[in-house]
Amino acid sequence: MRKPLLHTKVTVKLRKSIFREEWYIYIESYPVHNPGSTKPKRVIEAVNRTITTPIWDMTAISKINEDGNYKYKPKRDSNGIIQCQSQLDKEACRYADKVRALRQQEYDTAVVCSDREQEMIAQNERSEQDFIAYFNSIIYKCHPNSSDSIITNWTRVGKLLSIYSKGKPIPFKSISGKLLEDIKLFMLSAPRGGNKKGTLSQNSAATYFSIVKAGLHRAFIDEYLTVDIAAKVKGIPDVKVKRETLTLEEAEKLASTPCENEVLKRAFFFAVLTGIRLCDIQDLTWGEIVQTGSGWRVDFTQRKTHVVDYLPINEQAYSLCGERGEQNQRVFEGLTGSSWISRPLKKWIEASGIKKHITFHCLSHNRNFYCLNINELRTIKNVTANDLETSYILFLSQLCNIP
């Protein structure tokens, strides 16, 4: 569908002087549309010329005065120029018409070029804006239902960008491949957050730099950048690290070691048996644990991936949940966030004699955990690789008999 043209018409008009028998020449433009306003304006421009001998068109009445007399419009020639008797007045009217033609051309050109010019103006305005402020503003906009860890990572990156720029803004117009490479180098030596000492690990730097690139790619989509600079700069490679896991012997030690927080101990072994993340265990309600023909199943939406999961659990895992409550009641009531349970969890693990850094996050990778323990498990249970996962869960169920 074609966009309707804004037909601004420019006309030369006369206005009678109050004190003398003369008329001021002025130019009227209407309708004039200004950006951001839907109401048209009437623009009046004086040309600093007066005439005294206009010729009136007796067939065109412009107004009827209160005394009943008529006022007529000025007579114009075929080109629309006001006609006058004196030569001086004729020259003034021709001058006024030239000004009118100039203004008309300006308005006509503005109609044709306004879209492109306005876009260029808007693009220049966007290029002056601060990338850091934009980045912080899109965190919740782009991740309205994301997990706390994702929000935390994006928020941390916003703070690191401010550290990199020493508190100064980073205008979009200054962003280039070189600047992005500088940010990459900064991330590799950036300080850790909170009260932690030292610099970021390479994997953390890789994660944070990928978030910077994601923010720049979003800025490209939102037309703050005319080039997708993020696509031109390579990310920081990950370093393969060994994940800490529990052996069967260590799981037995923990099961027999007292824990000052009974809910924490039950939730920990529930994670061991199911591999469900801590954030999802915290949110788990009794309504999400349903009975099936052969046992129990957890029907829940993963907070991190937003994927609906249907996970069968055995009787031992169900018994760890405690006494069944109302449908909307949390299963592990009193289980606080990871930052609050880290201290009692560490104390419990140390009391068991385990020297590893074990967290709930280690347990969320339990499927890899099973594979890492295949030799030990085969020795104890004589299972095949195909039965590995099921047998390992059954073994832990017997091992971790927690009242």
Distance CA 385, CA 381 (A): 11
pLDDT in tens, 85-104: 999 999 999 999 999 999 99
- Report phi then psi at 47, rounded to 5: -110, 5
First to last CA, the chain: 73
Q: What is the pLDDT of residue 403?
A: 38
pLDDT above 90 covers a percentage of the chain that reads: 44
Residue that finishes a domain, picked among 204, 232, 260: 232
Distance CA 366, CA 270 (A): 12
Q: What is the pLDDT of residue 115?
A: 63
Tell whether 198 is covered by a domain.
yes
Long-range own/partner contacts, residues 144-152 (CB < 8 A, 24 or more apart):
145/306, 147/279, 147/303, 147/304, 148/279, 148/303, 149/279, 149/304, 150/304
Tokens 């720049």, located at residue:
216
The total number of structural domains in the chain stands at: 3
Query: ∠126-131-136 over CA atoms, to 5°?
Result: 120
The answer to whether 276 touches 254, Cβ cutoff 8 Å, is no
- Report phi then psi at 199, rounded to 5: -110, 170
Q: What is the pLDDT of residue 387?
A: 45
List % helix, strand, coil for the chain (3-state, nearest 5).
45, 15, 35
Question: pLDDT category, 254, cuts 50, 70, 90?
Answer: confident
Identify the weakest region by mean pLDDT among 53-57, 323-327, 337-341.
337-341
The answer to whether 208 touches 190, Cβ cutoff 8 Å, is yes
Distance CA 236, CA 124 (A): 31
Tell whether 212 is covered by a domain.
yes
Residue that finishes a domain, picked among 206, 232, 258: 232
> 311 forms bridges with which residues in the sheet?
298
> Residue 27, exposed/middle/buried by CB under 10 A (0-12, 13-18, 19+)?
buried
The answer to whether 30 touches 43, Cβ cutoff 8 Å, is yes
Sign for the CA dihedral angle at 360, 364, 367, 371 comes to negative
Residues 175 and 309 in one domain: no
Residues 259 and 228 in one domain: no
Q: What is the mean pLDDT of residues 211-230?
A: 93
Q: What is the pLDDT of residue 2?
A: 45
The conformational region for residue 322 under phi > 0 = left, psi -120 to 50 = alpha, else beta, is: left
Residues 320 and 368 in one domain: yes
- Alpha-carbon 161 to chain mean position: 16
**Residue 299 DSSP one-character state:** E
Tell whether 90 is covered by a domain.
yes
Residues 211 and 264 in one domain: no
Residues 54 and 111 in one domain: yes
- Alpha-carbon 293 to chain mean position: 45
- Mean pLDDT score across all residues of the chain: 83
In this structure, what CATH number is given to the domain that contains residue 360? 1.10.443.10
Q: What is the pLDDT of residue 368?
A: 42
Residue that finishes a domain, picked among 63, 95, 120: 120
pTM confidence score: 0.54
Q: Which residues of 69-91 are buried (b: 16+ CB within 10 A; e: fewer)?
A: eeeebbbbeeeebbbbeeeebbe
Tell whether 253 is covered by a domain.
yes
Question: pLDDT category, 369, cuts 50, 70, 90?
Answer: very low
Residues 288 and 162 in one domain: no
Residues 109 and 153 in one domain: no
Structure tokens at 394: 């059954």
Residues 36 and 153 in one domain: no
Question: pLDDT category, 391, cuts 50, 70, 90?
Answer: very low
Tell whether 240 is covered by a domain.
no
Tell whether 243 is covered by a domain.
no
Q: Which residues contact 346 (CB under 8 A, 6 or more apart)?
A: none
Residues 86 and 136 in one domain: no
pLDDT in tens, 158-194: 999 999 999 999 999 999 999 999 999 999 999 988 7
Q: What is the pLDDT of residue 376?
A: 43
pLDDT exceeds cutoff 70 at 294: yes
pLDDT exceeds cutoff 70 at 57: yes
Tell whether 1 is covered by a domain.
no
Residues 327 and 346 in one domain: yes
Higher pLDDT, 110 or 68: 68
Task: Tell me the C-alpha to C-alpha distance, in Å, between residue 21 and each of 76, 93, 180, 221, 369.
Answer: 20, 17, 72, 64, 103
Q: What is the pLDDT of residue 113?
A: 60
Residues 360 and 256 in one domain: yes
Give which of 227, 193, 233, 199 is closest to 213, Cα–Cα: 233
pLDDT in tens, 92-139: 999 999 999 999 988 887 766 656 677 787 888 889 999 999 999 999
pLDDT exceeds cutoff 50 at 371: no
Cis peptide before 312 (omega within 30 of 0): no
Distance CA 373, CA 247 (A): 7
Domain that holds residue 40: 9-120
Q: Which residues contact 38 (CB under 8 A, 6 or more apart)?
A: none
Tell whether 216 is covered by a domain.
yes
The answer to whether 225 touches 216, Cβ cutoff 8 Å, is yes
Distance CA 50, CA 92 (A): 7
pLDDT above 70 covers a percentage of the chain that reads: 86
pLDDT exceeds cutoff 60 at 150: yes
Residues 388 and 255 in one domain: yes
Q: What is the mean pLDDT of residues 209-219?
A: 94
Q: What is the mean pLDDT of residues 231-248?
A: 83
pLDDT in tens, 256-273: 899 888 888 888 888 888
Question: pLDDT category, 46, cuts 50, 70, 90?
Answer: very high
